[in-house]
Amino acid sequence: MNILYIGAGFVGTCSAAISADSGHNVLVYDIDAKKIEKLGSGDRDTIESCLYEKGLGDMLVRHADRISFTTQYTEVEHFLDTCDAVFMCLPTPEVGESGESDLSFYKAAANELAVALTKRNNGTQEKRIVIVNKSTVPIDMVDQTAHIMDGHGVKAYGVVSNPEFLVEGKAIQGAMKPDRIVVGAWTPEDFAVMRNVYQRFYDAPDVKYLEVNPKEAAAGKLLANYYLFAKLAVCFDVIGRTAETFSDIQFESIRKIVASDARIGGWGFYDSLYAGGSCLIKDARSLSYQLQTNGKEATLVNETYTANRRQLETFLARAEREAGFVWQGKKVALLGTAFKRDTNDIRNTPSIDIAHFCQERNVEEIAIYDPSALPMFQELFPASATIRYTSHEFDAIKDADVVILATDWPQFRGLADVMIGELKKKPLVMDGRRMLQHRYHDLQEAGFGIIAVGSPFLS
Ligand SMILES: NC(=O)c1ccc[n+]([C@@H]2O[C@H](COP(=O)([O-])OP(=O)(O)OC[C@H]3O[C@@H](n4cnc5c(N)ncnc54)[C@H](O)[C@@H]3O)[C@@H](O)[C@H]2O)c1
């Protein structure tokens, strides 16, 4: 099949790579020339410096003859003559803090596409084409997409909703072995096209291939993400808080007790300073907005969002309240800027709020380290008299008064030895990920104070 991807972000590029790997001919279009140059470079390291997903670089290099990247719409127009499906992979961020989805990227791309679609096959538009909403969109988006297409006089098209469930950091691995593929369409022809797109998974024994209508597909994506978000919020705000409140309660022991119940399950059973990233927060806000604009209450959805914010505020406030730590004039080591391990994505990463928090409290320095997401963070917080970037975690912590662990990069697990053995000062350890929980006792013995999510103050 010939498949066009519009938007070369995490979703567009990873899905396009899998399509090429499935034997399709793929064109990826984006307006970001720098990104397109890197992704189309044919060099694994260059690709991964732009989009860090394990296996993505190799896959794009391997299938270079089946996938190309462009910023030229003339190339897109030419491709559309024989194109079977167009995947819309545009950003749909929140408008301010309203919960509403900003559909301006989507609509700009859809309008541009619609104009090009009317010209295909010398204006006869005889080849049927399917427009696939892969972006996470409002539940009624299928109608909005059709409205845009009809407004331009596009013919012989269908609109399908095929939400993406990728997990950043495991996008390629996950896409090779998806747990489910959800296709929402109105017509048998559109379902048939999508079965061809996903032929390798359609009959696969361990993939749930779910055919529903487009609104169910869009709603299912939002609700699945809300459910995951709620699980995290319960873990942070109820279970973690309980473990922080009572001495002699180890978070990990509670996890064993609670998560052993198959009805509860183990996913999301960790304590963390914040659930960041581009999806969970935004999708919960969007769900709330859509419920409320349709005259319904969204109390629990809103409270889940608030619980996540409260978690980060509580974590930061504990330094002063429980350890008597005064931030002003202090040196802070901030370890981890990616919103989670194995990605360079910094969208909604707690480190942004932490850096602002430190700046507002007039710290002397924030020394920042991350193994993959520093260039992205530097765009928001350029190096300055108070902001210093380091190329190793030890450089960040060696003179610090407080060490904040914000991302669960596995390499941070080994920090306790370095802290105990080599640091002259004994910084306050703020473990926002329980990365050092196996060494809290040793750190305490060595004279460190520890503020950790899911533990009372340890000193
Ligand atoms: N990142 C995830 O983990 C994830 C998972 C599931 C669903 N989603 C959803 O998928 C969608 C895309 O997310 P993402 O993370 O890939 O976003 P992203 O920001 O990484 O990528 C979006 C791309 O679209 C491009 N773009 C913007 N306007 C354009 C236009 N008019 N024409 C062509 N390209 C344009 C941008 O330059 C960017 O490269 C969002 O709706 C998101 O909620 C994301």
Q: Write out the binding residues for substrate.
A: 165-168, 221, 276, 340
CA of 10 to the centre of ligand 1 (A): 7
Is residue 23 over pLDDT 90? yes
Q: How far apart are CA 253 and CA 19, in angstroms?
A: 43
Q: Is residue 318 very low, low, confident or very high in pLDDT (cuts 50, 70, 90)?
A: very high
State pLDDT tens for residues 321-330: 999 999 999 9
Distance CA 92, CA 282 (A): 9
* Element spanning 161, H or E: strand 157-161
Characterize the bridge pairing of strands 365-369 and 331-335: parallel
CB of residue 8 inside a 6 A radius of ligand 1: yes
| 194, 19 contact by CB (below 8 A) | no
pLDDT digits (tens, 9 = 90+) for 108-135: 999 999 999 999 999 999 999 999 999 9
Residue 136 Cβ < 6 Å to ligand 1: yes
Ligand 1 centroid vs 201 CA: distance in angstroms?
A: 24
Q: What is the pLDDT of residue 93?
A: 95
Question: Is 105 a pocket residue for ligand 1 (Cβ < 6 Å)?
Answer: yes
Report residue 355's pLDDT band, with 50, 70 and 90 as the boundaries.
very high
What atom in ligand 1 is closest to the CA of residue 283?
Answer: 43
Ligand 1 near 325 CB (within 6 A): no
- pTM for the whole thing? 0.94
- Residue 169's pLDDT is 87
Closest of 272, 387, 279 to residue 334, by C-alpha: 387
pLDDT at position 240 is 98
**Which of ligand 1's atoms lies nearest the C-alpha of 168?**
3
**Integer Cα distance of 29 and 39 in angstroms:** 11
Q: What is the pLDDT of residue 17?
A: 97
CA of 283 to the centre of ligand 1 (A): 14
Judge if the beta carbon of residue 278 lies within 6 A of ligand 1.
yes
142 is written with which tokens? 């299928």
- For residue 81, how far is its CA from the centre of ligand 1 (angstroms)? 25
Nearest atom within ligand 1 for CA of residue 167: 3
Task: For ligand 1, say whether the CB of 305 is within 6 Å of any of its atoms.
Answer: no
H helices present in 246-397, as ranges = 251-259, 280-293, 299-323, 350-360, 374-380, 393-397
**Residue 103, ligand 1, Cβ within 6 A:** no
Give catalytic residue positions.
Answer: 279
Nearest atom within ligand 1 for CA of residue 282: 43
Is the C-beta atom of 90 inside 6 A of ligand 1? yes
Domains and CATH numbers, the chain: 2-212 (3.40.50.720), 226-452 (3.40.50.720)
For 23-33, what is the mean pLDDT? 98
Of all protein residues, whose CA lies closest to atom 26 belonging to ligand 1? 7
Task: Give pLDDT tens digits for 57-115.
Answer: 999 999 999 999 999 999 999 999 999 999 999 999 999 989 999 999 999 999 999 99
For residue 238, is pLDDT > 90? Answer: yes
Q: Which atom of ligand 1 is nearest to the CA of 165?
A: 6
380 Cα: distance to centroid of ligand 1 (angstroms): 19
Helix then strand then coil, % of the chain, to nearest 5 = 45, 15, 40
Share of residues in the chain with pLDDT > 90 (%): 97
- Pair 140, 215: CB distance under 8 Å: yes
Neighbouring-strand partners of residue 452:
431
Binding-site residues for NAD(+), please? 30, 35, 92, 136, 168, 282, 347
- The pLDDT assigned to 1 comes to 97
Question: What SS3 state is found at 146?
Answer: helix
121 CA from centroid of ligand 1 (Å): 29
- Structure token pair of residue 223: 């609700």
Contact by Cβ (8 Å): 312, 353? yes
Name the closest-CA residue to atom 7, ligand 1: 164
* Residue of the CA atom closest to atom 20 of ligand 1: 9
Residue with tokens 């330094």: 319
Distances (CA, A) of 434 to 18, 254, 272, 418: 35, 14, 7, 17
- Average pLDDT of the chain to the nearest whole number: 97
Q: Average the pLDDT over 10-18 and give the result.
A: 96
Q: How confident is the model at residue 168 (pLDDT cuts 50, 70, 90)?
A: confident
pLDDT digits (tens, 9 = 90+) for 273-290: 999 998 999 999 999 999
pLDDT tens track for 406-444: 999 999 999 999 999 999 999 999 999 999 999 999 999
Task: Specify the DSSP class assigned to residue 294.
Answer: T
Q: What percent of the chain has pLDDT over 70?
A: 100
DSSP string for residues in 369-409: E-SS-HHHHHHHS---SSEEE-SSHHHHHTT-SEEEE-S--
Is 208 in a helix, a strand, or coil?
strand
